[in-house]
């Protein structure tokens, strides 16, 4: 799965969680928390949605790997490959 | 037979919010509600075509759309409900009326600051320090230990009258303790009322309940109204499910109860010791007039009235304490959804005194309460002239009947279980006795307890 496909899957999840936010200008290298109003409760939702939609498990100690869009794609890439 | 992942007791704000979170992540969840109408402490009814709201006069924690880090924004995001759906309308302004001083506040915190500078010039810097303390304190941290808010605030605010005035709305809008509150609770309430402020969803509390219900059922959650619970079943120290009043048994891995801590422990099988019941209850008189208060120059949204320099927030020795009151004008939000003038008057009341009355005296005493409410309106607004079209009074016994709270204790037990744990495996508490109060607090309580105990635990396992 290529970078853009995985990126889109992550953006789709964030769009459902942060329903009132504009996601069209996200910078892949800047922490999501700095660009959007997301707190730890919302990151829990990202993790739960990954599990619900793609059966991908993210252990608590790996939460920090979801900090930026780029790190999300890098971390989740192999997991998506494995799950599909 | 179905075994649920979680059974939730009570379809109030917290139970519904918890239900939404669990249904969202595909848990098999069922909410059981004793009454025919959901809402719990914040409910509604209709009489002669008039819509009456029970519970909070206004929603606290006002936030503009997208305002970051605000509790309201947070909870809407967690429930995935768009901001616009609430159709919030802001308050004009509210007033704290004491004999010597009068302070107005609105959703712009600068109004209160400037009012305090004028009325209490010596306290200007102290109030600024109090604001800093409140802003920096994390009131919702589940590990905060209880401590007296009055003691802590008294270290900063040296004028007792100002202190009493500041506490007045916060106590009557959320304290289960008499004449004081937990400092964490003080911080939550201070922010939610003085820094964020009041608003009203279009059509009042029923809109929020309907929104929550709609979301919950869309997500596949089950709701059973008119379903009381006889006991919570425990085996070997862990929850196995519940037994209904009808005798039917429902199996569930976890039970989240929103009915209050003493009320929950009371239906735990084999449980002896019950946590303390709160003593704070109220009467409320809802009055409908042929003229709107706004047409007669009344612009205030809520008045916190007290006829003494000291505010006595405690269980009275008489049926009601008429020395203080809250007067709410539901017409006076920027969007007025009523055709008639409406005024709601709340007095602090004594549950036992109301409960021991025979039916005839009870009805007479309700009329007296209505009389006192009208006297108070005339005293605060001598120019208000209107014909009373309809009224209803509810009392501490009404509150107990409809909410199940022992002694009609609106703000629940004096003992809170902030982390939601009960000492029994897989039995958790959310809502009033978890300790986040108000409509927004209740929903956040349901969300955070569902996340902590029913979603994150699953993650770890």
Is A18 in Cβ contact with B77 (below 8 Å)?
Answer: yes
- Predicted confidence at residue B457, as pLDDT, reads 61
Is A39 in Cβ contact with B69 (below 8 Å)?
Answer: yes
- Predicted confidence at residue B460, as pLDDT, reads 42
Residues of B in contact with A47 (CB under 8 A): 459
Parse chain B into domains and list their residue ranges: 3-57+203-276+416-460, 105-196, 279-403
Residue-wise pLDDT for B348-380, tens only, equals: 999 999 999 999 999 999 999 999 999 999 999
Residues of A in contact with B455 (CB under 8 A): 44, 48
- Predicted confidence at residue B458, as pLDDT, reads 43
Residue B38 and residue B209 in contact, taking contact as beta carbons nearer than 8 Å = yes
Residue B434 and residue B428 in contact, taking contact as beta carbons nearer than 8 Å = no
Comparing CB atoms, the residue among B25, B69, B82 nearest residue A20 is B82
Region B88-112 average pLDDT: 98
Q: Is B27 on the interface with A (CB under 8 A)?
A: no
Kindly state the DSSP code that residue B48 receives in the 8-state scheme: T
B324: Cα separation from own chain's centroid = 19
Q: How confident is the model at residue B97 (pLDDT cuts 50, 70, 90)?
A: very high
Residue-wise pLDDT for B27-77, tens only, equals: 999 999 999 999 998 888 888 889 888 888 999 999 999 888 899 999 999
Q: Give chain B's count of helices (H) and strands (E).
A: 14, 18
DSSP string, B347-373: EEE-HHHHHTS-HHHHHHHHHHHHHHH
Distance from CA of A3 to the nearest CA of B (A): 27
Residue-wise pLDDT for B406-417, tens only, equals: 999 999 998 899
pLDDT over 90 (residue B112): yes
Residue-wise pLDDT for B221-262, tens only, equals: 999 999 999 999 999 999 999 999 999 999 999 999 999 999
DSSP string, B401-445: HHH--GGG-TT--SS--TT-B-SSBTEEE-STTTT--HHHHHHHH
Using CA atoms in the order B430, B433, B439, B442, what is the torsion angle rounded to 10 degrees? -20
Residue-wise pLDDT for A31-61, tens only, equals: 999 999 888 889 989 999 999 999 999 998 9
Q: How confident is the model at residue A84 (pLDDT cuts 50, 70, 90)?
A: low
Residues of A in contact with B141 (CB under 8 A): none
Minimum Cα–Cα distance from A56: chain B residue: B459
For residue B50, the cross-strand partners are B47
Cα B351 to Cα A69: distance, rounded to the nearest angstrom? 57
Comparing CB atoms, the residue among B25, B77, B456 nearest residue A17 is B77
Cα B414 to Cα B391: distance, rounded to the nearest angstrom? 32
Q: Is A2 on the interface with B (CB under 8 A)?
A: no
pLDDT over 80 (residue B138): yes
Q: Which among B54, B13, B55 is positioned nearest to B31, based on CA atoms?
A: B13
Q: How confident is the model at residue B459 (pLDDT cuts 50, 70, 90)?
A: very low
pTM: 0.93
Minimum Cα–Cα distance from B456: chain A residue: A44
Cα B274 to Cα B264: distance, rounded to the nearest angstrom? 9
Q: What is the CATH number of domain B3-57+203-276+416-460?
A: 3.50.50.60
DSSP string, B150-182: HHHHHTT---HHHHHHHHHHHHHTT-SSSS--B
pLDDT over 70 (residue A83): no
- Predicted confidence at residue B141, as pLDDT, reads 86
Residues of A in contact with B448 (CB under 8 A): 41
Residue B80 and residue A19 in contact, taking contact as beta carbons nearer than 8 Å = yes
DSSP string, chain A: --HHHHHHHHHHHHHHHSTTS--TT--TTS-HHHHS---HHHHHHHHHHHHHHH-----GGGGGGGSSHHHHHHHHHHHHHHH-
For residue B350, the cross-strand partners are none
The CATH superfamily of A3-83 is ACP-like (1.10.1200.10)
More confident residue, B458 or B157: B157
Is A37 in Cβ contact with B78 (below 8 Å)?
Answer: no
Region B391-406 average pLDDT: 92
SS3 B341: strand
Enumerate residues 6+ apart whose C-beta is below 8 A from B214. none
Buried b / exposed e along B158-176 (16+ C-beta atoms within 10 A): ebebbbbbbbbbbbbbbbb
Residue B62 and residue B197 in contact, taking contact as beta carbons nearer than 8 Å = yes
Residue-wise pLDDT for B439-453, tens only, equals: 899 999 999 999 999
Residues of B in contact with A19 (CB under 8 A): 76-77, 80, 82
Kindly state the DSSP code that residue B235 receives in the 8-state scheme: E
Token pair of B23, please?
């249904």
Q: Is A22 on the interface with B (CB under 8 A)?
A: no
- Predicted confidence at residue B272, as pLDDT, reads 63
Token pair of B320, please?
């009601």
Q: Which among B344, B347, B303 is positioned nearest to B324, based on CA atoms?
A: B347
Lowest mean pLDDT among B126-135, B139-148, B310-319: B139-148
Parse chain A into domains and list their residue ranges: 3-83
More confident residue, B456 or B337: B337
- Predicted confidence at residue B143, as pLDDT, reads 85
Only one residue has tokens 């075509």, namely B49
């Amino acid at each position: 799965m290529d970078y853009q496909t995985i990126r889109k899957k992550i953006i789709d999840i964030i769009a459902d969680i942060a329903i009132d936010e504009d996601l069209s200008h996200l910078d892949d290298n800047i922490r999501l928390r700095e660009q959007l109003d997301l707190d730890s409760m919302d990151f829990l939702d990202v993790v739960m949605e990954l599990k619900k939609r793609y059966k991908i498990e993210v252990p608590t100690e790996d939460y920090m790997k979801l900090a930026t869009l780029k790190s999300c794609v890098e971390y989740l890439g192999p997991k998506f490959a494995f799950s599909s | 037979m179905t075994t649920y992942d979680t059974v939730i007791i009570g379809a109030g704000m917290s139970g519904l919010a918890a239900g939404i979170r669990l249904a969202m992540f595909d848990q098999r969840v069922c909410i059981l509600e004793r009454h025919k109408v959901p809402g719990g402490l914040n409910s509604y009814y209709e009489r002669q075509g008039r819509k009456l709201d029970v519970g909070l006069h206004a929603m606290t924690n006002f936030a503009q759309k997208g305002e970051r880090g605000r509790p309201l924004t947070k909870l809407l995001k967690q429930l995935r409900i768009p901001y616009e759906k609430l159709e919030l309308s802001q308050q004009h302004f509210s007033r704290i009326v004491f004999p010597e001083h009068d302070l107005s506040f609105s959703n712009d915190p600068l109004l209160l600051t400037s009012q305090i500078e004028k009325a209490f010039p010596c306290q200007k810097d102290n109030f600024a320090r109090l604001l800093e303390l409140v802003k920096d304190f994390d009131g919702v941290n589940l590990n905060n230990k209880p401590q007296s808010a009055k003691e802590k605030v008294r270290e900063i605010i040296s004028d007792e009258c100002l202190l009493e005035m500041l506490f007045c709305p916060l106590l009557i809008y959320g304290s289960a303790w008499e004449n004081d509150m937990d400092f964490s609770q003080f911080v939550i309430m201070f922010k939610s009322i003085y820094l964020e402020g009041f608003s009203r969803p279009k059509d009042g509390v029923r809109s929020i309940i309907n929104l929550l219900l709609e979301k919950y059922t869309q997500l596949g959650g089950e709701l059973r109204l008119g379903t009381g619970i006889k006991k919570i079943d425990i085996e070997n120290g862990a929850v196995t499910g519940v037994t209904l009043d009808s005798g039917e048994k429902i199996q569930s891995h976890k039970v989240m109860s929103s009915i209050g801590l003493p009320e929950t422990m009371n239906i735990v099988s084999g449980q002896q010791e019950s946590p303390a019941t709160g003593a704070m209850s109220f009467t409320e008189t809802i009055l409908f007039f042929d003229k709107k208060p706004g047409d007669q120059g009344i612009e205030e949204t809520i008045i916190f009235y007290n006829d003494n320099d000291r505010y006595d927030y405690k269980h009275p020795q008489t049926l009601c304490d008429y020395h203080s009151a809250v007067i709410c004008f539901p017409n006076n939000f920027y969007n007025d959804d009523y055709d008639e003038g409406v005024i709601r008057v709340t007095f602090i009341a004594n549950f036992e005194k109301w409960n021991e009355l025979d039916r005839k005296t009870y009805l007479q005493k309700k009329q007296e309460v209505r009389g006192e409410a009208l006297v108070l309106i005339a005293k605060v607004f001598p120019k208000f002239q209107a014909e009373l079209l309809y009224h209803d009074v509810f009392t501490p016994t009404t509150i107990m009947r409809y909410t199940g709270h022992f002694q009609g204790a609106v703000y629940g037990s004096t003992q809170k279980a902030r982390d939601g744990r009960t000492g029994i495996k897989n039995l958790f508490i959310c809502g009033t006795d978890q300790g986040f109060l108000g409509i927004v607090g209740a929903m956040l309580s349901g969300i955070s307890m569902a996340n902590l105990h029913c979603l994150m635990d699953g993650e770890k396992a």
